[in-house]
Amino acid sequence: MPVDAVTQSPPEPTTLVELCLRRAASQPDRRMFAFLGDGIEESDSLTLAQLDARARAIATRLSGHAPPGARAVLSYPPGLEFVSAFFGCLYAGLVAVPAPPVLRAGTDDRSTRFRAIVGNCEPELVLSNASRLDRVGSMLKDLSTPRAVTPVATDEIDGLGPLAGHRWSPPRVDPDTVAYLQYTSGTTGLPRGVVLTHGNVLHNLALILANGSDAVDDRDRLRSTVSWLPVFHDMGLISGVLQPLYVGYDTALMPSSVFVQQPVNWLRAISDRRAGIGSSPGFGYELCVRQVPERQLGSLDLSGWGIAVVGDEPVRADMIDGFTSRFAPCGFRREAFFPSYGMAESTVMVSGGQVESEPVIRRFDAVALAKGRVQRVEDETESRRLVGLGRLHPSMAVAVVDPATGEPCAPDEVGEILASGPSIGTGYWNEPEESARAFRTRVRGHGDRCFLRTGSVGFMDGGQLFALCRVKDLIVVDGTQHYPYDIETTAAASHPSVRDGCCCAFVVEDDRGTRLVLLAEINSRHRVVAGAAPQSASGTRVTVGSDEIEQAIREAVFAEHGLRTDDVLLLKAGSLPFTTSGKLQRAQCRHRYRARAFTAVVSEAPRTGLPEHHSGRS
């Protein structure tokens, strides 16, 4: 046998089942998965041998309930049972469908999302643990599905005994077999189930590794990751479960609620475990800046954090500045930030990187951007700082087109971002027309290549991808383009009573024409009264008049963007709807505004001229 045949690396796995089997066979005793139930202490763990055994046992049980290709909805509270059940579905040849845990049978956002997912994918099975199945079962009774849905409590399946999974036989799956449905966050409407094959997912895992390859040579830097992201969300599933298994590093999961209540727990876990990787949308980093007190910084060592993935649209330069400044004394390096762009339709990542270099932040002429043109400038006056969302791997392609005509834009024009490559899913489940529109777009000059319409407005510049906002969120007034995030940032900075990151700007068309609306949440330590009340302090709360806040917002938006704000509505903290990944649901905000479903925060009745919005806090 030739020497090179002995030393040659084994071929890449072609399915996620093969990936898990290989890991379990090569490192059976490795404790790869840990769970921090309170965000601090490890309350559960899984070795690779245990994961494989539980997946086999679960698959054997599920195969008795549903044939290969059937959908199985996974609705689990935070913990490691989801990981075993997810691979149990794959081991059975079923299509896994991650869904949020049902907290109660009601109309909260997670229950609404769960109902929408079940109604769309028409599953044969719903998996959870025994303690949650009662809640799931009561909800299923209210849903109209073509067939009866069988609930299965996977935590009651013996997966660690000597005979566990002995009857399991590998499923007939290949790279083109559907692995799971990843439902979108629902930023601009109802969640849609993206159909992802084993090949789609494995390509994206390899893509993420390649985009971070500058740090991969030093394997010690990739010893572990800590994730608070929900595993039913695309970023949480990939970064917290599948990518660690693919690359071979350990992962610690914690409940997202624990992070939101005490964001320092995430940083402390990264510090204590010397984790090299941590991922979050921008709001997670901003929450750390706002809520981690000075006295806790001395206990944190973030010098080993080599890759701080941030995925947003857009990524804020101010966020990068603020987080770096706040945690530099703890050893955090600005070079660790890894801005990226992606979505459920592309498994997760489209572009990202580079590693070990400062994030790419460039200044562009603000007036030119308002006209849809791209023009770099050095002067701070009339300019916008934009963060590049990384480079493109050679296997991926991006085109920027006119969203109305589909014609390619010039290199210096803003347009809709279209993406193509093996990571792109095959379509939306049970939506053939929308799948054809979104996933099979042809672009002049690119032959027969099919592109995904991302719905994002942006451009390419110097090898970097820049995203500005969603096409549906673009604000056009008198032929000039305005990006809602810019207006919202201006409004949040206009008055200390307004909560940072909790404003929403959009336009409505009615009998009064095109009107710009600004919704702004008020800090809980401020009490807003109607009219022109003088500022006064009472205990820990500050009383301020609504006139003062509204005028500050209107003046700031006009000065910065040249726009008249037709309606300003001041809301209680927590009123605006966000997705599970922290994205503002602007379409839902517009819908609720039109339905008069928001309640103004003023403690007295709204004065004449302010629309009456009835209760409906999200």
For the stretch 271-329, pLDDT in tens is 999 999 999 999 899 999 999 999 999 999 999 999 999 987 789 999 999 999 999 99
With a cut of 90, say whether residue 611 has pLDDT above it: no
Domain boundaries, position 545: 475-594
467, 481: one domain = no
463, 558: one domain = no
483 vs 518: CA distance, rounded Å: 13
The secondary structure of residue 241, as a DSSP letter, is I
Half-sphere exposure of residue 233: CA atoms within 13 angstroms, side-chain side? 26
With a cut of 70, say whether residue 165 has pLDDT above it: no
374, 463: one domain = yes
Output the 3-class SS for 17-76.
HHHHHHHHHHCCCCEEEEEECCCCCEEEEEEHHHHHHHHHHHHHHHHCCCCCCCEEEEEC
Using the 3D structure, point to which of 140, 173, 206 is the last residue of a domain: 173
Q: How far is CA 601 from CA 474, 493, 571, 589, in A?
A: 27, 19, 5, 16
Contact residues for 403 (Cβ-Cβ < 8 A; gap 6+): 415, 416, 457, 471
Residue 481 belongs to domain with CATH number:
3.30.300.30
For the stretch 73-113, pLDDT in tens is 999 999 999 999 999 999 999 999 999 988 665 666 778 88
- Cis status, amide bond into 432, omega within 30 of 0: no
Mean pLDDT of the chain: 88
Residue 183 lies in a domain: no
Strands 361-365 and 383-387 come out as antiparallel
Residue 573 lies in a domain: yes
455, 483: one domain = no
Secondary structure element (H or E) that encloses residue 543, with its range: strand 541-545
Highest mean pLDDT among 72-81, 149-158, 503-512: 72-81
pTM of the model: 0.88
Residue in the block written with tokens 């629309």: 611
| Three-class SS state of 253 | strand
531, 462: one domain = no
Reference 152, options 63, 51, 60, 62; nearest CA is: 62
Domain count for the chain, please give it.
3
505, 441: one domain = no
21, 155: one domain = yes
With a cut of 50, say whether residue 498 has pLDDT above it: yes
Q: How far is CA 410 from the centre of its chain?
A: 30
Residue 581 lies in a domain: yes
Using the 3D structure, point to which of 139, 158, 173 is the last residue of a domain: 173
For the stretch 190-237, pLDDT in tens is 789 999 999 999 999 999 998 876 554 454 555 799 999 999 999 999
Using the 3D structure, point to which of 153, 173, 193 is the last residue of a domain: 173
Residue 97 belongs to domain with CATH number:
3.40.50.980
Tally DSSP H helices, then E strands, for the chain.
19, 29
Helical H segments across 398-545, by residue range: 432-439, 484-493
64, 161: one domain = yes
